[in-house]
Structure 1
Amino acid sequence: MNYIKDMRELIDSNLLMTVGCGIILEKDSQILLQHRKDRDVWGIPGGVMEPGETFLETAVRETHEETGLHAENLQLFGLYSGTEGYAEYQNGDQVYSVQIIFHTQQFSGELMQEGEESHEHRFFSPDELPKINFHQERFVMDWANNASLPILK
């Protein structure tokens, strides 16, 4: 199933609301980030919920697809909404995404370096963060600043 693709065939580039789910994977006080192939930015693994999925299922599935890692014992990190959720892509597609972000330090598997959506994956400490995807900057910076959880924005 590819909900976004199916909806785009119906509504073209008009505004589409989505639910995105991601996981902050932390190891030794460092966050795992992926370097995107479509833009020169970094962000956490995650993606869009498909109909019938739970927030947790979406976050775990997307993280495994993008990193090869199996995340466990997820805790709610934050709920993100507001104007920062709007994006217009180069092809003209408009989207407004509400983000449900989880956090864990428990994961297993072998980390893939390159996937369909990313060039590489790397762990970063809060004081050495690279250029972060604008739409994910809020939660990455909340992590780096040890914000009180859960975050509701």
Structure 2
Amino acid sequence: MAYIADLRSQVGHMPLILTSASGALVNADGAVLLQARADTGDWGFPGGYMEFGERFDNTVRREFKEDAGLAVEPVCLLKILDNDQYTYPNGDAVQPVNAFYLVRQVSDQHFSVKPSETVTTRYFTLQGRPPRFFNHQHEKMWAILNEYWTKKHNVK
């Protein structure tokens, strides 16, 4: 976050286009892992903004470890989302360009999550969406995952 903090120190709350990556981890029961965010309390897919010089796939790995305490690998890119805007509670306005991946867990090892970013994590069935999503982009990701999973597994 040093990159974004440095940038914000120069531009204040001015709208920025920022790149990010998020992931959907679906367990053997077909439930997806979400994080309760520390900044808003809303639910969302683990993920976050790129650091300078990072690639999307490395960003989702790093962010999953920070947000959910799990080591993952991208399985496939589900979608690039680029048409949403959001203003954080502190007034920072962004248009995130987000690479949304299906990921798989690669280790049973658990890492400490950043308490400044994650309150808790929990699995939700694809039919039992959480009460509040972080923003419209996370709602779109939920729909994208549902459509992908339904087609892949012939779920009706």
| TM-score, length of structure 1 as denominator length | 0.86
Identity across matched positions, percent: 29
| Mapped contact 1:68–1:112 kept (Cα < 8 A) | yes
For each residue in 1:54-99, what CA deviation from the matched residue of structure 2 results, as whole angstroms up to 9, or x when unmatched?
11111101111111111025311111111xx211122221111111
Matched to 1:88, the amino acid is T
For each residue in 1:14-71, what CA deviation from the matched residue of structure 2 results, as whole angstroms up to 9, or x when unmatched?
0111001011111121100001121131011100011110111111011111111110
Query: Which has the higher mean CA deviation after the structures are superposed, 107-116 or 10-19?
Result: 107-116
Distance 1:99 1:93 in 2: 17
Distance 1:69 1:25 in 2: 10
Matched to 1:20, the amino acid is S
Q: Does 1:44 align with 2:24?
A: no
| Mapped contact 1:114–1:121 kept (Cα < 8 A) | no
Change (3 A) 1:90 1:72: closer
Q: Which residue of 1 aligns with 2:75?
A: 74
| Mapped contact 1:78–1:102 kept (Cα < 8 A) | yes
> Alpha carbon RMSD of aligned pairs, Å?
2.1
Distance 2:88 2:79 in 1: 25
Q: Offset at 1:143?
A: 1.0
Change (3 A) 1:91 1:106: closer
Runs of 4+ in 1 over 6 A off after TM superposition: none
Distance 2:112 2:9 in 1: 32
Matched to 1:6, the amino acid is D
Question: Which ranges of structure 1 fall in alignment gaps of 5 or more residues?
Answer: none
Distance 1:36 1:105 in 2: 21
Q: Offset at 1:144?
A: 2.1
Q: Which residue of 1 aligns with 2:118?
A: 118
Change (3 A) 1:114 1:9: closer
Query: Which has the higher mean CA deviation after the structures are superposed, 6-15 or 104-113?
Result: 104-113
Question: Which ranges of structure 2 fall in alignment gaps of 5 or more residues?
Answer: none
Q: Which residue of 2 aligns with 1:138?
A: 140
